[in-house]
């Protein structure tokens, strides 16, 4: 049997969900027999593959690179899963939203708070422009399943993946849905 092609990506988040993924520990070894990681920040593939079975998206949509990557993911993935609270709700990165214009925040951090050489990062093609409003992934693309949590515990991730691999779908219920 072909292994299920899995991608994990990471947008505006802290990597905690990926860490929680790794916290499945020795189950990862079992998992390696069933899945093939075809794209991930912990692997070296540089381009998102053209066809993926399942993509786990950690993080919120916070800059224009994320927007572009989201659409690429949706176009290439059979199943897209919002992975963790940032992807599901916007969570902590979205705390900047009530402050309004991100340019003002950049000004504070890089110009006002610099001891020397104050300049707000802007180089085109290098540092992506921030979107006005950080948003959850499903506001940008259609999302099939949601794994909330900050981060979702490894047992929650395990359950979601097991369901998906065994039954082809993964609607979490009960305590497994708790945000935060």
Of 65 and 162, which has the nearer Cβ to another protein?
A: 65
List the one residue from 34, 40, 162, 165 that touches another protein (CB under 8 A). 40
Minimum CB separation from another protein for residue 77, in Å?
9
Alpha helices, H only, 38-113: 64-76, 85-89, 102-106
Residues 134, 111: Cα–Cα separation, whole Å: 22
List of residues 6+ apart from 89 with CB closer than 8 A: 136, 148, 179
Answer whether 76's CB lies under 8 Å from 83's CB. Answer: no
List the one residue from 19, 101, 103, 169 that touches another protein (CB under 8 A). 19
Site for another protein, residues 135 to 174, rule: CB under 8 A: 135-136, 138-143, 145-146, 148, 150-151, 153-154, 171-174
Minimum CB separation from another protein for residue 54, in Å?
14
List the one residue from 10, 79, 131, 157 that touches another protein (CB under 8 A). 10
Paired strand residues for 104: none
The tokens for 1 are: 């049997």
The helix or strand, by DSSP H or E, that contains position 57, with its residue range, turns out to be: strand 52-58
The count of residues interacting with another protein (CB under 8 A) is 100
Contacts with another protein, 97-116, as mask; x by CB under 8 A: xxx--x--xx-xxxx-xxxx
* CA 133 to chain centroid: 16
List the one residue from 15, 159, 162, 163 that touches another protein (CB under 8 A). 15
List of residues 6+ apart from 49 with CB closer than 8 A: 5, 7, 38, 39, 76
Minimum CB separation from another protein for residue 2, in Å?
15
Contact between 52 and another protein by CB under 8 A: the answer reads no
């Amino acid at each position: 049997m072909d292994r299920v092609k899995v991608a994990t990506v990471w947008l505006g988040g802290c990597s905690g969900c990926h860490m929680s993924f790794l916290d499945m520990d020795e189950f990862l070894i079992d998992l390696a027999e069933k899945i093939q990681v075809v794209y991930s920040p912990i692997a070296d593939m540089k381009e998102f593959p053209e066809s993926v079975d399942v993509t786990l998206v950690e993080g919120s949509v916070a800059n224009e690179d994320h927007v572009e990557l989201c659409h690429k993911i949706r176009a290439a993935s059979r199943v897209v899963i919002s992975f963790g609270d940032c992807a599901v709700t916007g969570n902590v990165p979205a705390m900047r939203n009530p402050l309004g214009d991100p340019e003002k925040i950049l000004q504070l951090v890089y110009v006002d708070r610099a001891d020397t050489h104050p300049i707000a990062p802007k180089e085109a093609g290098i540092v992506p422009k921030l979107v006005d409003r950080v948003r959850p992934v499903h506001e940008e693309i259609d999302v099939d399943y949601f794994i909330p949590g900050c981060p979702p515990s490894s047992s929650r991730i395990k359950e979601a993946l097991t369901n998906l691999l065994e039954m082809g779908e993964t609607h979490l219920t009960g305590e497994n849905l708790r945000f935060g």
